[in-house]
Structure 1
Amino acid sequence: MPSSEQLRELLDPATTVLMTVECQQGVVGTESALPELAKEARASGALANVARLVSAAHHSGVQVLHAVAERRPDGRGANHNARLFRAAERLPVQQLSGTTAVRIAPPVEVADEDLVVRRLHGLSPIAGTDVDPLLRNLGCRSLLVTGVSANVAIPNAVFDAVNLGYTAVVPTDAIAGVPADYTPVVVRNTLALVATITTTNDVLGAWKRPGRAG
């Protein structure tokens, strides 16, 4: 892991964006389409840590971007070319545009200045969406990736960020996947090879203003 000084430089609020991935009610909320994942996101403290990071970003001047996965009621434009997509079509809770399922889940708060990017297709919160041009217009150099899942969307986001020239930063206690013991495996054997690995507390420390207590 980087030193506190290295992390402070890497996560300069002027050039850092915090992205939450699929932290929506239909995924990590109490009425999730994926109850096992929702339970793990909450029991592990990952969702609470995402909320802590979002709150700190709001207070530190770090741009927050929420990446949301959804689909039209008629399914138009959605993928059908993988088992995951076909299984999602049969779930009792659908991530339909305009419904409660695609709202950001508590305790994560959305501020007026946050960006919300919604996608109707694919696996990645970055590829094929407006995220990359928005990041470039914001002057982003480091992308802090949080949310779910460590199985699919988080690795996708990290790989896409690195391929596009951003430095990906992953606080390992602010992501979740299933089963619970899979997340540390994918962090150690995959994400650590391409991203800067850190923790929520270390990120909060990097954003703490000099001389500021608490």
Structure 2
Amino acid sequence: MATNEQLAEQLDPASTVLMTVECQQGVVGPDSALPELAKAARSSGALHNVARLVAAAHETGVQVLHAVAERRPDGRGANRNARLFRAAERLPVQQYSGTTAVRIAEGIDVADEDLVVRRLHGLSPIAGTDVDPLLRNLGCRTLIVSGVSANVAIPNAVFDAVNLGYTAVVPADAIAGVPAEYTPAMIRNTLALVATIATTDAIVACWKRPRRVVRA
């Protein structure tokens, strides 16, 4: 875990963006297409911690970006080049554009200043989407990656962020995957090698600390 000093250096509100990944009703809500993942996100407290991070970001002036995965009803433009995509086509709940399934999950506030980036293809919330240019235009240097899943989208987002030159911060208690024991293993053996690992409490506390004013 990162020290408070390390986090303070990385989490300047002016250059930090908090990204929630696939925290949408059709993924982590009560009527999820992936009930095992939704259960893990809720029972572990990860979804609650995502909501806490979003609330703290709004209070501190940190930009929030919600990354949503969806598809057209006709499937046009969607991937079919992996078993995961083909299996998703058969799920009883579909992440169709404009439906309740692709709305941000209840309990996570979406402010007027939040950005919502929707993708129709691929595995990553960043690659092939508007996220990177938006982050650069915002002056982002540190990207906090939260949400689901630790199996696919979260590591994709972290790797993409690092490859693009951002410092990635992962709140270990604000991501979830299946089975439950996979998430800490992924963090310990993979994400910790390329990202700063922290807790929700540490990030929120860091934002609440008075910041030193450097006078000319």
* 1:44 paired residue number: 44
Cα-to-partner distance string for 1:168-206 (whole Å, 9 max, x where unaligned): 000000000000000000000000000000000000011
- For the pair 1:178 / 2:184, whether they are aligned, the reply is no
* 2:116 paired residue number: 116
Within 2, Cα distance between the matches of 1:6 and 1:197? 11
Within 1, Cα distance between the matches of 2:206 and 2:88? 38
Within 2, Cα distance between the matches of 1:210 and 1:8? 10
* 1:33 paired residue number: 33
- For the pair 1:17 / 2:23, whether they are aligned, the reply is no
* 1:78 paired residue number: 78
Within 2, Cα distance between the matches of 1:36 and 1:74? 27
Within 1, Cα distance between the matches of 2:210 and 2:135? 27
* 1:157 paired residue number: 157
Unpaired runs of at least 5, structure 2: 212-216
> SS of the counterpart of 1:187?
helix
What's the Cα RMSD here? 0.8
Deviates more, 1:1-10 or 1:96-105: 1-10
Q: TM-score, normalised by structure 1?
A: 0.97
Within 2, Cα distance between the matches of 1:188 and 1:5? 21
- For the pair 1:87 / 2:87, whether they are aligned, the reply is yes
Within 1, Cα distance between the matches of 2:170 and 2:106? 21
TM superposition outliers: structure 1 runs of 4+ over 3 Å: none
* 1:4 paired residue number: 4
> SS of the counterpart of 1:147?
strand
Amino acid of the residue matched to residue 148 of structure 2?
V
Cα-to-partner distance string for 1:14-40 (whole Å, 9 max, x where unaligned): 000000000000000000000000000
> SS of the counterpart of 1:118?
strand
The Cα shift of 1:46 comes to 0.1
Amino acid of the residue matched to residue 56 of structure 1?
A
The Cα shift of 1:2 comes to 2.2
The Cα shift of 1:210 comes to 2.3
Aligned length: 211
The Cα shift of 1:151 comes to 0.1
Amino acid of the residue matched to residue 8 of structure 1?
A
Cα-to-partner distance string for 1:27-70 (whole Å, 9 max, x where unaligned): 00000000000000000000000000000000000000000000
Unpaired runs of at least 5, structure 1: none
Cα-to-partner distance string for 1:86-128 (whole Å, 9 max, x where unaligned): 0000000000000000000011110000000000000000000
The Cα shift of 1:9 comes to 1.7
* 2:214 paired residue number: none
> SS of the counterpart of 1:74?
coil
> SS of the counterpart of 2:169?
strand
> SS of the counterpart of 2:143?
strand
